[in-house]
């Protein structure tokens, strides 16, 4: 059976590349891997900027498509609510809170989600970003070898309305942060959270379609009435980093996402190799999922399909970053 190892990239719509570039490169410390102005290969892709970690590894990639004429988008059913990037631990997360706040970026949190800790802020277009700690992990409140099997009700004190918001607001790193050092460096996609009104079909798409497993069945801790499910690449006891997709269940809502700036154009999962894209096509086809044409972007190949709630998904082949942005060149 085909299984994706996890995320490949997420594609955001930007109203202005200059400020996206400054924010992701200077404020978040990501590596600018490709820039349409400098790299001819991007001429054959829809992407204008591509950021990632120093190695350009899959699951670290954030692509930007500029659309100066697009209206402002909004999250809702069939859209992405937020992107979470990985931060090492609570200490580094507090340094991020201080760094961002000192750069004029308002931050909420840190919130104790149980299985990780989270702070939130927005990029210049309004994309909601989260920095989530690596641990404690999804086995925080259920056995590592039985994740997602039962519904988990979070502890009361973690829910909105019960937690101590004033203390949370006041919590930050005591000293100014001089620069983003190695300890602070963000380590790829922690999870991506969407909103769906078709939870059961979404579940089938991620499990039968992409080979992911349900690893957490719980509620949104900011809205205790809303079911919140997590899927990831999960091999018995271990959840692969950079593979966790989560959805809020809005089955009773009519509030749909509006495409545009500040919204996600699509999310992309990885194929293992260049060769298996056609196997993915056959596999998804066999499940009755309509798959669009294979696109050769020069930087990688991808195919596209639409989830039952309208969210655009892709499967993409491995990405080889330009040599000049590799870690060796950094050392020299």
The footprint of Fe ion (CB under 5 A) covers 11, 84, 130, 193, 268, 314
CA 41 to chain centre: 24
* Distance in angstroms (rounded) separating the CA atoms of residues 11 and 62: 6
Least distance CB 257 / Fe ion (angstroms): 16
Least distance CB 21 / Fe ion (angstroms): 19
Q: Which of 27, 33, 28 is nearest to 48 (CA)?
A: 33
CB nearer Fe ion, residue 292 or residue 327: 292
* Distance in angstroms (rounded) separating the CA atoms of residues 278 and 302: 10
Least distance CB 98 / Fe ion (angstroms): 21
CB nearer Fe ion, residue 113 or residue 233: 113
Least distance CB 175 / Fe ion (angstroms): 28
Collapsed DSSP state (helix, strand, coil) of residue 169: helix
* Distance in angstroms (rounded) separating the CA atoms of residues 128 and 118: 12
Check residue 209 and give left, alpha or beta (phi > 0: left; psi -120 to 50: alpha): alpha
CB nearer Fe ion, residue 95 or residue 216: 216
* Distance in angstroms (rounded) separating the CA atoms of residues 155 and 223: 13
Least distance CB 130 / Fe ion (angstroms): 5
Structure tokens at 56: 């350009």
CB nearer Fe ion, residue 31 or residue 216: 216
CB nearer Fe ion, residue 234 or residue 319: 319
Least distance CB 256 / Fe ion (angstroms): 20
* Distance in angstroms (rounded) separating the CA atoms of residues 237 and 251: 31
Q: What are phi and psi of 146, to 5 degrees?
A: -140, 35
CB nearer Fe ion, residue 177 or residue 215: 215
């Amino acid at each position: 059976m085909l299984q994706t190892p996890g995320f490949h990239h997420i594609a955001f719509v930007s109203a202005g590349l200059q400020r996206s570039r400054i924010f992701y490169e200077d404020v978040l410390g990501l590596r600018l891997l490709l820039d349409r102005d400098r790299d001819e290969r991007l001429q054959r892709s829809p992407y204008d900027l591509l950021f990632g970690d120093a190695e350009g590894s899959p699951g670290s990639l954030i692509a930007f498509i500029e659309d100066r004429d697009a209206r402002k988008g909004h999250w809702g059913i069939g859209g992405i609510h937020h992107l979470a990037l990985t931060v090492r631990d609570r200490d580094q997360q507090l340094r991020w809170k201080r760094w961002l706040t000192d750069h004029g970026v308002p931050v909420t949190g840190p919130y104790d989600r149980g299985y990780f800790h989270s702070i939130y802020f927005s990029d210049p277009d309004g994309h909601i970003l989260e920095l989530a700690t690596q641990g404690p992990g999804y086995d925080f409140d259920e056995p590592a070898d039985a994740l997602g099997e039962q519904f988990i009700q979070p502890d009361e004190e973690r829910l909105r309305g019960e937690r101590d918001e004033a203390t949370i607001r006041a919590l930050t790193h005591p000293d100014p942060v001089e620069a983003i050092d190695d300890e602070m460096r963000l380590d790829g996609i922690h999870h991506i959270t969407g909103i769906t009104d078709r939870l059961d079909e979404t579940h089938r798409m991620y499990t039968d379609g992409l080979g992911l497993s349900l690893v957490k069945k719980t509620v949104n801790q900011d809205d205790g009435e809303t079911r919140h499910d997590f899927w990831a690449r999960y091999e018995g006891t271990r959840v692969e980093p950079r593979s966790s997709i989560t959805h809020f269940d809005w089955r009773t809502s009519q509030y749909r996402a509006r495409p545009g700036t500040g919204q996600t154009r699509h999310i992309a999962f990885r194929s293992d190799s260049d060769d298996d894209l056609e196997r993915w096509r056959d596999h998804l086809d066999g499940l009755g999922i309509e798959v669009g044409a294979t696109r050769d972007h020069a930087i990688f190949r991808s195919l596209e399909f639409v989830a039952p709630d309208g969210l655009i998904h892709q499967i993409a082949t491995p990405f080889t970053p330009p040599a000049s942005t590799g870690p060796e060149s950094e050392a020299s």
